[in-house]
Amino acid sequence: MKRLVLLAPLALFVAIGLAFAVGLTRDPSRIPSTLIDRPLPEFDLPPIQGFDKGLASADLKGEVALINVFGSWCVSCLLEHPVLLALSKENAVPIYGVNWKDEPGAGAAWLARHGNPYQRIGDDSAGRVVIDLGVTGAPETFVIDREGRVRYKQVGPITREVWEKKLRPMIEELRG
């Protein structure tokens, strides 16, 4: 009995250590999205300077699509840009852009320089819509299903691997 009592603190320590070890494998900066399986919040963004089509939540109904939050100031966005361009060329999935916190003209200049993968682009220079979407940084991409519900949020750039392993299967499944 005495043995057991003496071992208890060690056992407790090991248990806590294991819990922390598991916890350390998780990335606390990746906040899970509260929007999953909920309808896309309503928004209606004007076009960015140089374009004539803005982006509204109503534009998306009826098809599986991606909403990509980007900015000309965002370095990681440049990393995923070739992948988005390729996807738009292949017509793999419609991609809609939300230009976050850019000065007038900056977004258009960036797209002119690097290419434009977006069907429509909304101007969120005020940063209000991205807060409704629960965005914490760029790039972030939302997968929207046919009914207009958010099904997945990709935090960080979409690499080829992310596309092949996560997004493409998901989109194919959502398409039925």
Partner 1 sequence: MLCRNREKSHPEERRRRVAKDGPLAAVLALFLLMSPAFAVEPDEMLADPALEARAEALEKELRCVVCQSESLAESNAPLAKDMRRILREQIKAGASDEKAVAFLVDRYGDYVLLRPRFEGKTLLLWTFPLLAVVLGGLGAAFYLRAQRGGTAPAPLDEAEEARLKKILNERA
Binding region for partner 1 (CB under 8 A)? 2, 5-6, 8-9, 12, 28-29, 31-35, 101, 126-128, 131-134, 136-137
Which residue lies nearer to partner 1 by CB, 31 or 112?
31
CA dist list (Å): 76 to 6, 70, 80, 107, 138: 53, 9, 7, 15, 7
Contact 60, 174 (CB under 8 A): no
> For residues 3 and 113, which CB has a smaller minimum distance to partner 1 in the complex?
3
What's the min distance (Å) between Cβ of 136 and partner 1? Answer: 4
Strands (DSSP E) contained in the chain are 44-45, 55-56, 65-70, 95-100, 121-124, 140-144, 150-155
Q: What is the DSSP letter of 12?
A: H
Nearer to partner 1, 65 or 133 (CB): 133
Q: Measured from the CB atom, is 19 or 112 closer to partner 1?
A: 19
- As measured in angstroms, the least distance from the Cβ of 172 to partner 1 is 29
Min dist. Cβ of residue 24 to partner 1 (A): 16
The rounded distance, in Å, linking the Cα atoms of 37 and 152 is: 8
